[in-house]
Structure 1
């Protein structure tokens, strides 16, 4: 099985290389790893007290960020080394101020893992939510470097819990401690003989709560809203935007701010076709005399978490594709949320529906009904906000159990 795993990673790398000729994201994935060990060697010191954080992408970074920042506060002499697997994380956070080194993770192989651990020589390694790399985990264990998984979440349909998942179970055995989000994850790990677990909750609640009490002010957005009720549409995809376009026609007194998941030129152009009167944020910001418009399209990355402070209601994209994006950022500001039908892998979405702070929709008619419901039921706002506040605290639990 190890041979198949190794071959699979090589095939995956080859496929990404082929796609790099057509996709900017794939191109970043490949180019970012060129001379990667030279970069790591130049920016790290083997004699430093290094803490290694690995994140799959931007979402996992924001999830693990409260733990990272608290550790830096408690141990300012220690160095923070961050790796990302995906360009979506690296390209946005490559200049993050609290890190002493930020890199793409070299692809998992025996040689790469050995070389990386030798150069960085971390005191501990912390992985957020998922990504379980055999060679890296084995090399950490071999060097007696503690490995923690924080905000871990497991489901019974994952390969770890199948009769044929022995190899993948062996990867989990290299983890020193799992801090999991819920009881189900805890029981699943114990069912395969892993009792080194703590139910800590999800550090995302800490992150979004902190953001909600001290958000970055955006004067241009405040000027656009101009005291109108605002629907913030976060991480949207074409199937979401089609329905939102119809909704905007029905409610001309509402402002719509659309922050799409993909901001390449062609996608922004497609959104402008759906919303002919819309203005891009880059244009709005640069114009001294602000034109009137119902719809603002955010054509950059990094603003979404601060946008929700200006909204009355949120629509979260992705529910007509692989699954919905982050609902908690909106809920933390007291915004009820609406999303598409594919939400069942997300406990917080199910929880929000249960407390009448969220609704799932499949059609434009259902979107209109949900919109009208939340427009008339102000109690949903308090329910969303209280839900986040009551769930925070995972960071504190984790830090109590990580010792140097």
Structure 2
């Protein structure tokens, strides 16, 4: 009785969200992209499909895609006949990766109504569904399990306070027990699952480790960046928000001879204009033919990962707001990475801070003081580099562990 009522209430909440989306798409470009994208997916499901028996991989956004990406590319390498359906919840994922060459089709995931789940399953006839990190859409999971389609979660993290572990929401927790396997990142997740008597898991680590190691070996630094740096000590500020500007201003004031390169999270013209107004120093844009100012602002997408190759120090944004962005991409190069206090939900940040391999700050002066100390003790930087090398070396391999488990399904293609 309660199970049926819970799913009815959950579905009612999804309907309410759809109403908000319908109204909001008239006023917000981003909401309109999501609304139209979902409508397009539903239209596709009304026509004959060119794909069937797909391996369906779902990601919330771009960050989760980077966790799913090594698995997708390994599947295509080892099982080239396998058809991959890639779905996104967020426009920031779909719009950037809609032409991703290793997926046979890329779609927006429609809202989590039972009818939409049935449409997708009937249209694409998935052999398996792989959810990245914590994308738990309960009507989709319920429908997929009712069709006896195996479901997996990869790079998953579970915490004691996750809402679906509340006693009143036990029907959601029971769906987790129906997964073929939960591939989790850490020991804490294992302890949480054991506490709730969920045993269908394997601790394999984070697939992003495999991705950033691979990316560090293939990314080339643009010549324009090399010319701009001119052998100066270089600081890269990655995924910057307005809350991070005080860090930049303090750093440039303290180290005016350093090369400072800023990569905003939002590269829209309005945001970059605001950024330039709030920074106390003159700046060039990457799109300028000959950038020659004290600071360089990257106003395009796709080169940030390569910039870390030439960095001496890195600051990652978001830590003075909602939460930090990707710290693994710079850390794999063995360089000190700084970020703000909002990092406790990110396992890699917590682990690296505990080992003095990455550095959380609560005010800008903590970063400048630390760098000044290192200039007097350069051997410390070698120790940090060695610790980071050990971290990545001991945590790689999650992708291959998952592939081995999926082998029987993939071989049926």
TM-score category (smaller protein): over 0.9
With 332-341 and 363-372 compared, the bigger mean Cα shift is at: 363-372
TM-score for the superposition, normalised by structure 2: 0.92
Show the 5 A alignment for 1:9-20.
9-20=14-25
User: 1:336 touches 1:384 (CA, 8 Å); kept in 2?
Assistant: no
Aligned residue for 2:127, secondary structure, equals strand
Match of 2:247 in 1: 243
Instruction: Verify the 8 A CA contact 2:61 2:93 in the aligned structure 1.
Output: yes
Indicate whether 1:323 and 2:323 are aligned.
yes
Residue 254 of structure 1 and its aligned partner are, at CA, apart by: 0.9
The alpha carbon displacement at 1:318 in A equals 0.8
Q: Give the match for residue 378 of structure 1.
A: 381
1:126 is matched with: 130
Aligned to 1:84: 88
For structure 2, the 5+ residue unaligned runs are 1-5
Q: Which residue of 1 aligns with 2:369?
A: 369
Detail structure 1 runs of 4+ shifted over 6 Å in the superposition: none
**Superposed, which structure 2 residues align to 1:284-363 within 5 Å?**
287=289, 290-363=290-363
2:211 alignment partner in structure 1: 207
Q: Provide, for residues 348-402 of structure 1, a one-character-per-residue CA deviation record: whole Å limited to 9, x for no partner.
A: 1111112222111111222212333455432223322332222111111111111
1:93 alignment counterpart = 97
SS in 2 for 1:34: helix
SS at match of 1:256: strand
Cα–Cα, structure 1 residues 386 and 124, in superposed 2: closer, same or farther, change >3 Å? same
Asked whether the 8 Å contact 1:137–1:174 carries over to 2, the reply is no
Cα distance in 1 between the residues matched to 2:188 and 2:227: 45
Unaligned runs of 5+ in 1: none
Give 1:6 shift: 1.0
Contact 1:150 / 1:180 at 8 angstroms: preserved in 2? yes
CA deviations on 1:243-295 (whole Å, 9 max, x unpaired) are 21221122111111111112222210111113341111122xxx1xx242221
> Which of the numbers 108, 111, 129 marks the counterpart of 1:104?
108
Is the alpha carbon distance of 1:310 and 1:17 closer, same or farther for their aligned partners in structure 2, counting shifts above 3 Å? farther
Q: What is aligned with 1:63? A: 67
Equivalent in the alignment of 2:3: none
Please tell me the root mean square deviation across aligned C-alpha atoms, in Å: 1.8
Number of the residue aligned with 1:52: 56
Inter-partner Cα distance in structure 2 for 1:194 and 1:383: 34
How many residue pairs align between the two structures?
A: 398
The TM-score, its normalising length taken from structure 1, stands at 0.94
Alignment of 1:212-227 (within 5 A): 212-227=216-231
How many angstroms does 1:136 deviate by? 1.1
**Contact 2:250 2:365 (C-alpha < 8 Å) held by counterparts:** no
Q: Distance in 2 between matches of 1:302 and 1:194?
A: 40
Q: Show CA shifts across 1:139-165 (max 9, x none).
A: 211211111101110111111222333
Aligned residue for 2:102, secondary structure, equals: coil
